[in-house]
Amino acid sequence: MTHEYGSSFLKLLVDDTDIEAFDEVLARARAAGEPAGRLDTLEEERAIALRLRERLLRHRRNEAELQLLNDTANDLASLRDLDPILQAIADRARRLLDCDLAYISLSDRGRGDSYIKAAAGNISGLLRELRLPIGTGVGGIVARTGEPYAVAAYLSDDSFAHTAEIDKTVAAERIESLLGVPVKLNQEVIGVLLAAHRSRQDFSSRDISVLMMLGSHAAVAIENNRLLSAAQQAVSELRVANDTISSHMADLERTAEVHERLTRLVIQGNGVDEVVQATATAVSGTVIVLDEEGSAVAQSCGHGTVLADELRRLSADAWRAGHTVINTTQCAVPLITESEPLGTIILSATTQVDATDRRILERAALVASLVLVTRRRMAEAEARTRGELLGDLMATHHKDYDLLQHRATLLGVDLTLCRIVVVARVDDEPRERVHAAAAAIARRSHGLATYRRSTVVLLLPGDDPQAVARPAVDELARISRHPVTAGTAQAADITRIPAAFREADNCLHALIALGRTGEIAGTRGLGFVGALFSGEPTTASFIESVIGPVIAYDRIHHSDLVHTLDTYCRSGQHARNTAHQLHLHVNTVTQRLSRISQLLGATWRDPERLLEIQVALRLLRVSKP
């Protein structure tokens, strides 16, 4: 009979039934006169079923959030106009936070205020027509500080400036609780994303994190729209040129066709490799994209090899000129944006470069800039999110570990596997390239990265700190072109990450103080210095790492090498004095010292090694019962 009721619980789980149905099963069992023992069993099975039901509901919520975020990213690649993208972000913000209203305001530099660009869940016509004077309302605080801000009761809150028009709209929309987060581009607040409840409710840290991530998506969409508008403007200019220069009609049409093909590649979410290949089909020669350091990012195939030094010189000429440079059969166009260098696109033609080839390459440069900026902005948004998560993990104050695990899951990071902390000192100015490389390392490794002053902090999966840190540090050194010094530590679990960070940071400072620039070490690798810096010094492991082979030899051969070594150190490192104190012949002592050299290596008498050996011997004496 109990089995039948247990099966009922499983069927209720499968049918996704309300909680009341689980109580009814137990009620029927009591009504049927089931014994007390069976009723207790049913109580336990009901509790387990309810826990499974809660877990299933949480899993579905996580899946729904991930799907919505994925849909937003897909919109960025598939939608051309800004309005539909921002509307989709507002809709998804409302669904993810389960709020009544979500809207986006954008700054108007010309008028010095901001305006509502997209809204979801609004019930009055006032919101879409509202303009917000600078510094007013919740949006004004967020725009001024660049930080999230929430109020529980908007109309009665005096912590910010109110205006009659804004309060009228708030009342019409029946807004009670409001949360706003900044929409940032290059550290500049270009808008505010807001979510509202029509009843008094608190916003959780999860709500803030999700809204911040959607705000990053909105920033990428706005930047994409600006670059896409520039590309469309270039197409328009090309069509005007087609109408006015009839003698070059065929060439201009070919140029426009190539540009439209490239634009479609961008809209479809393709990368710079596809842009290069598409450009190469329209010109006769090899198309190559170099980054700002002169390294090849992409190259068309099937046209032979081009000399790297020659390309770098041509790229440098184009950057100095600030515009297209042609050298008979070669053409270089710098990839220039308003804020940052991106590299150069170069055509190495089989014949003399003509005006059409130049126009095609310049259009390709514009599209390649759009692709590179889009990818870079999305990578920066992800890197900021990863860095903020690692910063929260390293903080020593009380943390919501369930929320941290959830945030990590959204980034594809398993915090149960990420146990290795690496703190690396990078001597390079500027550090943007090193920070980008650290973010790429974390992304590839399914880990996290952040920056603390002149150091890079990595949290990576693995069990061997040296093995995990070595390839990451080598890559940072290659990018910075300077030796990179790094301290490592291993966290037992997520709660030990702050302690592991402090240990790794101490190891880094110890390496620098000891003049061991360019090395990687944990506490064991620093010897007795590491034991002093370790948060949990282990005397036995230190002794084993320094004189373990000698101890093992004595144990196996029943010899007295440890005592001989100790006497040798305490007698001023003189073999004759050692022999006198041990009542042995000096040749016997010499033979024992030779055996010690075989066990510890020929450099064991060096000052630093000998100091470690003396400390280990002293610890061995005091640790014996």
Domains and CATH numbers, the chain: 3-65 (no CATH), 79-230 (3.30.450.40), 269-300+307-378 (3.30.450.40), 397-524 (3.30.70.270), 539-623 (no CATH)
Measure the CA–CA gap between 468 and 474, rounded to whole angstroms.
11
pLDDT at residue 536, rounded to an integer = 47
pLDDT at residue 70, rounded to an integer = 64
pLDDT at residue 461, rounded to an integer = 92
Q: Which helix (DSSP H) or strand (DSSP E) does residue 492 occupy?
A: none
Low-confidence residues of the chain, pLDDT below 50?
1-2, 303, 535-537, 625
Residue 375: how many other CB atoms lie within 10 Å: 13
pLDDT at residue 154, rounded to an integer = 92
Name 33's Cβ contacts closer than 8 Å, sequence gap at least 6. none
Q: What does the pLDDT look like over 391-431, one tens digit per residue?
A: 888 887 767 888 888 888 888 888 889 889 999 988 765 56
Sheet (strand 484-490) strand order? 448-452, 455-461, 418-426, 484-490, 520-521
CB 218 within 8 A of CB 75: no
Measure the CA–CA gap between 139 and 190, rounded to whole angstroms.
11
pLDDT at residue 1, rounded to an integer = 45
Q: 500, 539, 552: which is closest to 522 by C-alpha?
A: 500
Q: Which helix (DSSP H) or strand (DSSP E) does residue 559 occupy?
A: none
pLDDT at residue 552, rounded to an integer = 92
CB 132 within 8 A of CB 115: yes
pLDDT at residue 335, rounded to an integer = 81
Name 503's Cβ contacts closer than 8 Å, sequence gap at least 6. 421, 487, 489, 522, 523, 533, 534, 535
* Helices and strands in the chain, H and E counts: 21, 16
pLDDT at residue 305, rounded to an integer = 56
Q: Kindly tell me the sign of the dihedral angle through the C-alpha atoms of 161, 163, 168, 173.
A: negative
3-state secondary structure 321-354: HCCCEEECCEEEEEEECCCCEEEEEEEEECCCCC
Q: Give Cα separations from 112 to 14, 106, 122, 218, 425 (angstroms).
A: 57, 11, 25, 21, 43
